[in-house]
Structure 1
Amino acid sequence: MPSKLLGKWKLVKDENFEEYMIEIGVGMATRKVALITSSTSEITDEGNNQVRLNTQSTFKSANVLFPLGEEIDETTMDGRKCKTTVRWDGDDKILEIQKWDGGKREAKLEWIYEDEKMILRMESNGIVCKRIHERTT
């Protein structure tokens, strides 16, 4: 049975997003624009043990194909050069680990299906942010 996470999601609410962006080193101008910009994220199973995370907004966008369980080089939407690993954690959660600054810094992103919503929980150095999405398709 396919995961309920698969599909297209529209951002409807943020919790602690600015504090999280400060923690990971996002500059003030980018933070201010990111706080007022809405986005959509689409999660697709591309087969061959790969998942695509496609986030689009009028400010910045990312469309990345992740081979599950393999570390890849990724430039994040905020410009960090990361070593990123993505894997399924059960049927309805994707776990994404980003490492940068030579592995000295780390962020954990969890894409979670919960109560008919998709919650993107992001954590770095004890600072936690939630971005809440509703299904569009």
Structure 2
Amino acid sequence: MAFSGKFEFESEKNYDEFMKRLGLSGDVVEKGRNSKVITEVQQDGQDFTWTQTYSGGKVITNKFTIGKECEMQTMGGKKFKATVKMDGGKISTVGDVTYERVSKRLA
């Protein structure tokens, strides 16, 4: 599956609980909820560069390889370790909370 492209946020499920599990403060969670997010994905095999641009100009870039632990950063600047797994290209899980975000392809 090729995920490379530019995407605009449309909808989400379990945002608050997922962000709380990541340890983000209430003000950062609120900022994220009210922010327009454009995501640009560059894929090279199992390697990804995932760049999110938030309204107001904040840009966060995370790089990861499917199946390998990496360090990532939240929009609030919090760093955490994660292992990214492919699951239909739709789902993120922290503990027992699953977050799903739907985006439309722009390019």
Q: One fold, TM greater than 0.5?
A: yes
The structure with the larger Rg is 1
**Higher strand content, 1 or 2:** 1
**Percent identity between the two aligned chains:** 20
Alignment of 1:1-137 (within 5 A): 3-46=1-44, 50-58=47-55, 60-86=58-84, 95=85, 112=89, 119=90, 121-137=91-107
- Aligned residue pairs, count: 106
Q: Tell me: CA distance 1:29–1:56, structure 2 relative to 1, closer, same or farther (3 Å).
A: same
In the alignment, structure 1 segments of 5+ residues that lack a partner are 87-94, 97-109, 113-118
Deviation of the 1:25 alpha carbon: 1.7
Which of structures 1 and 2 has the larger relative contact order (alpha carbons within 8 angstroms, sep 6+)? Answer: 2
Which stretch of structure 1 is more off in the superposition, 26-35 or 55-64?
Answer: 55-64
SS in 2 for 1:5: coil
In the alignment, structure 2 segments of 5+ residues that lack a partner are none
RMSD value, Cα: 2.4
Deviation at 1:64, TM superposition (A): 2.5
TM-score by length of 1: 0.63
Q: Structure 1 residue 69: deviation in Å? A: 4.6
